[in-house]
């Protein structure tokens, strides 16, 4: 009983059979949060200053926020080469394997151009082309995220984006981590700039004397980075606003409590805003998972972070059956969904809202974070209801084309004119009628010429 009582202090329990459950569950699902006016005001000033003054402001903000001071902030080829040489061969091999698997996954289905021809001279279709230049933002400073480099840059490389630019905040010594530079080389990045935060996003979006302007910015980051991405959207495209990481686990009686607890903690350890939720209709599993969380937190290196995350965005949701677990998980629409159940393939058919689904007891989220193949840049905050994982599609643009020969315009022109009249746009109809007049005139002239020939 002591262990259970202690576990109650770590993660809350929501019971679907109890009064007030709906209100509590809706609160759990509402994890997007509102915009912070103070953050937006700060970011707006940074973005505007970088837009108006370029390199000098990027360098000034880098010194202010990262403590790094230098005259040139692009990573030179020699610096890049030397960093890669310092990476342990085993680490280099692991990064290479991850990049290879991610590349193979994203190569499976790439949209292609197509065309169609219709009788009467209709010709139309779609051209699919890569974006000309993209910016990949990689969080840095005290931490290193080589997996983020791979997940964001490899899909762009797969569709042969001509120029992939990476931005990442340097450490106080003015350098980027060797492993991050190694991952960039493996992933196909062309140029790297030591700049982070809102100033890095702004430099990518508007361009500076040194940084080329990109067409799209992708990648995760803190609230300042996300606010900056939101502000420059329209000037450039962005992937989405990346929120804190999250995991939901659906467990039945075949689940191993220690494994489920470890999976919840593996996401809770990321940051205090992370979310980790268990859905189960087996009360004994709920109890034992909570006990395991408490047990594993003892001596846990990132226990302080994980405890705060679990207290804020963690929950054990007790349901009446597996069907309700699936229904509630769909409403939660998690970034990562683990099916710790018997027969996960059959259960998968009933899942509608999730970034990536991990099937069965031997597929922890960690394999997806690093090298399974599917992208780990996923919709968060419930946006899995309408957003998808980052993929090759995010680095392609579609351009339609159409050509009508005179017979096709004669066939369909009257319908176009009727629709234009229906919408009260006479100019649209006139643009058709003028051409039809010429087509009719040319037709009359051909008929007159034939009659003249027959008379001779």
Tens digits of pLDDT across the chain (456 residues): 333 334 445 899 999 999 999 999 999 999 876 667 899 999 999 999 999 999 999 999 999 999 999 988 999 999 999 999 999 999 999 999 999 999 999 999 899 999 999 999 999 999 999 999 999 999 986 678 999 999 999 999 999 999 999 999 999 999 999 999 999 999 999 999 999 999 999 999 999 999 999 999 999 999 999 999 999 999 999 998 888 999 999 999 999 999 999 999 999 999 999 999 999 999 999 999 999 999 999 989 999 999 999 999 999 999 999 999 999 999 999 999 999 999 999 999 999 999 999 999 999 999 999 999 999 999 999 999 999 999 999 999 999 999 999 999 999 999 999 999 999 999 999 999 999 999 999 988 888 888 888 876
Do residues 357 and 428 share a domain?
no
The CA distance from 309 to 247, in Å, is 12
- 179, 291, 335, 376: the active-site residue: 335
Residue 328 is assigned to a structural domain of this protein:
yes
**What pLDDT is attached to residue 140?**
86
Do residues 160 and 285 share a domain?
no
Residue 182 is assigned to a structural domain of this protein:
yes
Do residues 64 and 188 share a domain?
yes
**What pLDDT is attached to residue 211?**
98
Do residues 15 and 139 share a domain?
no
The per-residue pLDDT for range 231-269, each reduced to its tens digit, is 999 999 999 888 899 999 999 999 999 999 999 999 999
User: What CATH number did the domain enclosing 295 receive?
Assistant: 3.40.50.1980
Residue 400 is assigned to a structural domain of this protein:
no
Residue 295 is assigned to a structural domain of this protein:
yes
Residue 393 is assigned to a structural domain of this protein:
no
Whether 336 is catalytic is yes
Which domain covers residue 417, as residue numbers?
405-455
Domain boundary among 351, 373, 395: 373
- 106, 336, 361, 376: the active-site residue: 336
∠ CA 217-221-226, nearest 5°, is 65
Residue 343 is assigned to a structural domain of this protein:
yes
Do residues 434 and 350 share a domain?
no
Whether 393 is catalytic is no
- In DSSP notation, 413-451 reads HHHHHHHHHHTT-HHHHHHHHHHHHHHHHHHHHHHHHHH
Do residues 330 and 446 share a domain?
no
**What pLDDT is attached to residue 343?**
97
Do residues 15 and 116 share a domain?
no
Do residues 183 and 63 share a domain?
yes
Q: 128 φ, ψ to 5°?
A: -110, 120
Do residues 359 and 303 share a domain?
yes
Residue 98 is assigned to a structural domain of this protein:
no
User: What CATH number did the domain enclosing 410 receive?
Assistant: 1.20.5
The CA distance from 58 to 255, in Å, is 50
**What pLDDT is attached to residue 3?**
36
Domain boundary among 242, 273, 291: 242
Number of structural domains in the chain: 3
Residues in a beta bridge with 250: 279, 339
Q: Which two tokens stand for residue 396?
A: 């392609």
Q: Give the residue from 58, 91, 97, 98 showing the smallest Cα distance to 83.
A: 91
The per-residue pLDDT for range 78-133, each reduced to its tens digit, is 999 999 999 999 999 999 999 999 999 999 989 999 999 999 999 999 999 999 99
Domain boundary among 199, 218, 242: 242
Query: Considering all CA atoms of the chain, what is the largest pairwise distance in Å, rounded to the nearest integer?
Result: 114
Do residues 413 and 342 share a domain?
no
Do residues 267 and 225 share a domain?
no
Do residues 314 and 212 share a domain?
no
Residue 397 is assigned to a structural domain of this protein:
no
């Amino acid at each position: 009983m002591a262990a259970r009582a202690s576990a109650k202090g770590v993660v809350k329990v929501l019971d679907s059979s109890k009064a007030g459950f709906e209100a509590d569950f809706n609160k759990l699902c509402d994890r997007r949060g509102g915009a912070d006016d103070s953050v937006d005001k700060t970011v707006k000033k940074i973005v505007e200053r970088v837009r108006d003054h370029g390199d000098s402001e990027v360098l000034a903000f880098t010194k202010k926020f990262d403590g790094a001071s230098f005259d040139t902030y692009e990573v030179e080829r020699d610096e890049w080469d030397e960093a890669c040489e310092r990476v342990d061969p085993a680490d280099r091999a692991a990064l290479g394997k991850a990049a290879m698997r991610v590349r193979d996954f994203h190569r499976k289905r790439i949209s292609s151009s197509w065309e169609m021809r219709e009788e009467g001279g209709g010709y139309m279709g779609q051209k699919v082309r890569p974006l000309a230049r993209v910016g990949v933002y990689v969080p840095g400073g005290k931490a290193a995220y080589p997996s983020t480099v791979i997940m964001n840059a490899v899909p762009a490389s797969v569709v042969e984006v001509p120029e992939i630019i990476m931005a990442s905040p340097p450490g106080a010594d003015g350098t980027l981590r060797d492993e991050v530079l190694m991952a960039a080389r493996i992933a196909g990045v062309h140029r790297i700039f030591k700049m982070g935060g809102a100033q890095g996003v702004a430099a990518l979006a508007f361009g500076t004397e040194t940084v080329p302007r990109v067409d799209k910015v992708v990648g995760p980051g803190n609230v300042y980075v996300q606010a900056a991405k939101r502000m420059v959207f329209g000037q450039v495209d962005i992937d989405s606003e990346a929120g804190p990481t999250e995991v939901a686990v659906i467990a039945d009686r075949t689940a191993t409590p220690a494994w489920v607890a470890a999976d919840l903690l593996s996401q809770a350890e990321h940051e205090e805003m992370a979310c980790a939720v268990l859905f189960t209709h087996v009360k004994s599993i709920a109890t034992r998972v909570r006990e395991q969380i408490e047990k594993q937190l003892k001596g846990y290196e990132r226990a302080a972070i994980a405890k705060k995350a679990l207290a804020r965005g963690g929950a054990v949701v007790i349901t009446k059956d597996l069907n309700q677990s699936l229904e509630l998980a769909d409403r939660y629409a998690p970034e990562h969904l683990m099916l710790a159940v018997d027969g996960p393939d059959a259960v998968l058919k009933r899942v509608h809202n999730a970034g990536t689904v991990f099937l069965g007891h031997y597929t922890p989220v960690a394999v997806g974070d690093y090298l399974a193949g599917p992208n780990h840049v996923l919709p968060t905050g419930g946006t899995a209801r309408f957003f998808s994982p980052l993929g090759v599609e995010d680095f392609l643009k579609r351009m339609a084309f159409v050509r009508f020969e005179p017979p096709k315009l004669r066939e369909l022109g009257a319908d176009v004119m009727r629709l234009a009249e229906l919408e009260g746009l006479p100019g649209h109809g006139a643009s058709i009628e003028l051409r039809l007049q010429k087509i009719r005139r040319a037709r009359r002239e051909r008929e007159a010429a034939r009659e003249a020939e027959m008379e001779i």
